[in-house]
Amino acid sequence: MSNQLHYDVVVVGAGNGGLSAAAYLAQNHKKVLLLEKHNLPGGCATSFRRGRFEFEATLHEMCSVGEGETAGAVRRLLDSYGLQVKWVAMNEAFCSISLDKKDPFNVYMPVGVKAFADAMEKAVPGCRKSVETFLEFGRMFTDGVEWLDSYHNEPGGLAKMKMLFQWKDLMKLVPIDTDTMLRKIGMPDKAREIIESYWDYIATPSDSMSFAVYAFMTYSYIYRKPYICHDRSHEISLAFDAAIRKMGGDIWYCSPVKSFDVRDNVCHGVTLNDGTYISADYVIANIHPGTVFGKMMDPKEVPVRDRKSMNARHIGQPCLTVYFALDVTAKELGLDGRYDTFIRTTGNNRIQFENSKSLETHKENCITILNEVIPDCSPKGTCLLQFTKFYDCDIMKGVTPENYFKFKDKITMDTIKQFEKDMKVNIRDHIEEVVIATPTTWARYVGSPNGNTYGYIPQNWDGMFARVQSGHKLDHTIKRLRLCGGHGTQMDGYSQSYLSGREQARYALLDMAKGE
């Protein structure tokens, strides 16, 4: 590496948002450099090996993918980059189990609008009308979101008037929470608790989650099907690497950035840990704002708006994941036929959320069995189980280097005991490999505060629709510097991070064209 280099755009962080931003810029003929501290691309979109097994790190399922006539925004975007990915569609929307003794349920929910409504009616007789109303709202919101996307979320002039008239119901329902709206359309409590099972994917309970956002996401899964890729999420990341290089972009791995060169509210470049300085006409950071503004620039250069927004927002829930490789098949354990299952002590997700505020009270789990969608993802006669839990507290408080491994052992044993009790199966005698990723693991790996992988918890005043309306100008506080990723305007998740990267790269191109 030379002591000083210059690029049109430097993208810091090869997570989902950064990969998408770099691809978009390279596609638009910019000399772009993508910097990544790790030796691999993807951030959370990766896999790892233990023994004879390859584990998926984080991906459960992606929305807005689809194919052919049902292709969604994410599929169209990734296809436009020329990514070569072996997509796998699922016929399962989700499985949900409530262990509440008063009103338990155990349901398998299929994809397809009619099939989903039929399954809901079977689970909760008399709920069909309210479920169909919910799904129709989801279809309307999906049309509205795609219409907004066609205007890059900034309709102006007559288009803005059309938005206010044609999509007035969408605009009205953005600030209404999901729980309130489902009650207004007459959905029975049990049906409502089943419908709200996806709340973990947005990381906020239904009584504070935008109905428009939740209905849009849920309908996308039901209508377009959830998707994963055959060779783990790392397949997508490697496909991005190949596409960016093919379009002329440069990628440097093992190149951690130490600081952003911001002077007088203008970003001029970045400095690597080894002292290498790279100047740029523009910089895009796929890094959590708390890290960018708190650790990677002169504190005097941090804009007041960013200080206020970071203080007003609630950092997303830190993640704890336990991975098991078993020497038996899911079918032999009686766990076959279900890919992604939410197991909760109650159907009430507000209580579930409150339970997540303590290590002792959080008994909810999301269990993924990858073999149910990709049978050959592990050697014959084996299966992979992944347990994911999100906490609204610092579960690492009091954990020291000396007791860290005892803490992990306790988490593992608690997970095994809880699952065996809930599902009445024996997995402890079949464990061949086990891996525990604590919030400390995620904090070290992706550099996020407290090890959260969800950016900021969305709120009615700070959800997707509010963010995308301010992402171009109001949130652009430092000239020639933009941020993308799961903390951004599109909110959390794989699909939204890819869209965020494209969005901020497009805004950067507009700024550069204006000489800003």
**What's the pLDDT tens digit per position in 134-187?**
999 999 999 988 888 888 888 888 888 887 788 788 878 888 999 999 999 999
pLDDT over 50 (residue 1): no
pLDDT over 50 (residue 406): yes
Mean pLDDT of the chain: 93
**Average pLDDT of 278-304?**
96
Q: Distance (Å, rounded) from C-alpha 272 to C-alpha 290? A: 19
pTM of the full predicted structure? 0.95
pLDDT over 90 (residue 323): yes
Bigger pLDDT: 111 vs 475:
111
The DSSP string of 249-288 is -EEESS--EEEEEEETTEEEEEEETTS-EEEEEEEEE-S-
pLDDT over 70 (residue 2): no
Per-residue pLDDT band at 314 (split at 50, 70, 90): confident
How many other CB atoms are there within 10 angstroms of residue 443's CB atom? 18
**What's the pLDDT tens digit per position in 339-355?**
999 999 999 999 999 99
312 burial level (CB within 10 Å; 0-12, 13-18, 19+) = exposed
Structure-token pair, residue 283? 């910089």
What pLDDT is recorded for position 471? Answer: 79
**What's the pLDDT tens digit per position in 483-501?**
999 888 777 789 999 999 9
Nearest CA to 233 among 419, 472, 64, 58?
58
Structure-token pair, residue 29? 């003929």
Nearest CA to 404 among 433, 444, 365?
444
The rounded percent of the chain whose pLDDT value lies above 70 is: 99
What pLDDT is recorded for position 3? Answer: 52
**What's the pLDDT tens digit per position in 233-273?**
999 999 999 999 999 999 999 999 999 999 999 999 999 99
Domains of the chain in start order, with CATH, are 4-67+76-81+230-314+454-513 (3.50.50.60), 111-224 (no CATH), 319-395+397-437 (no CATH)
What pLDDT is recorded for position 470? Answer: 78
SS3 for 59-88, per residue? Answer: CCCECCCCCHHHCCHHHHHHHHCCCCCCEE
How many other CB atoms are there within 10 angstroms of residue 199's CB atom? 22
Residue 459 host element (H or E): none
pLDDT over 80 (residue 73): yes
C-alpha distances (whole Å) from 80 to each of 27, 32, 225, 500 are 9, 18, 20, 15
What pLDDT is recorded for position 217? Answer: 93
**3-state SS class at 203:** coil
Bigger pLDDT: 3 vs 267:
267
**3-state SS class at 351:** helix
pLDDT over 80 (residue 317): yes
Per-residue pLDDT band at 460 (split at 50, 70, 90): confident
**3-state SS class at 191:** helix
How many other CB atoms are there within 10 angstroms of residue 51's CB atom? 9
What pLDDT is recorded for position 459? Answer: 79
